[in-house]
Structure 1
């Protein structure tokens, strides 16, 4: 089944609140080889004016992944994980993610573009705090290859 063109404009429900944990931030920082003190040391983060450790910028992918799982679970999407390549990722921050934040994410499919035997699916996850204040917009482009017969 090809990628469903009716995905464009589709909005998904907000994810359950995600509590950003200090150890999760530290683990993620180690995984991406970020040894900056504010990612590991609460005192270093506080010295910069933050309440706790600050997540590396790509930490937003943890929340965006929850939204992309919703997209992949859509029975009419035409997107199968075995045919997906993650081609592009961008982040637009209002403020950093900090341990102790409770965040929700809402996914919108913003574009489809067919290129030969593949379709590029662009989506944006708006990540906000529980009061609705914007934290980051995470934009992904997935390349979905055609089904093999």
Structure 2
């Protein structure tokens, strides 16, 4: 099978809860080279792009969906947007629920727009992560490699 526009609207179950910790916020801020003091101390908030961690966990369900025929190795991450209701904070326990919003086919490329709704495990909205992924339908693994 292959992903089509008919898959728009498909929503996957929420991810396993993810515990946002001071250590993870510190590691993430260090990895992106951001020394903003609000990411440190006893009550830090997470950098805005930290929600990518939760979103990428939610994407796993879509890539595991055999009906879609997607291969992560054939994906280019095109665009991403974060729309916050409130900042992620140390101590938050959150889940992400992915919805496929739109699928457009252009030759061998599939343009897939997804939204991940990030909420606390108590249901409080935190943010929405919207991403466009470009999937190359041509299966590179089926081509012989010349030696």
TM over 0.5: yes
Residue number in structure 2 paired with 1:28:
28
SS, match of residue 62 in structure 1: helix
Q: Which runs of 5+ in 2 are unaligned?
A: 143-147
Q: Which runs of 5+ in 1 are unaligned?
A: 43-51
The one of 88, 93, 97 aligned to 1:106: 97
Counterparts of residues 1-149 of structure 1 (less than 5 Å): 2-42=2-42, 52-148=43-139
The answer on whether the counterparts of 1:54 and 1:97 sit within 8 Å (CA) in structure 2 is: yes
Which string of whole-angstrom CA distances, capped at 9 and with x for unpartnered residues, describes residues 55-111 of structure 1?
000000000011101100001112111211110100100000001001111110000
Q: What's the TM-score, normalizing by structure 1?
A: 0.89
RMSD of aligned Cα (Å): 1.3
Question: Aligned partners of 1:86 and 1:40: how far apart in 2?
Answer: 29
Question: Aligned partners of 2:33 and 2:77: how far apart in 1?
Answer: 21
The answer on whether the counterparts of 1:88 and 1:140 sit within 8 Å (CA) in structure 2 is: yes
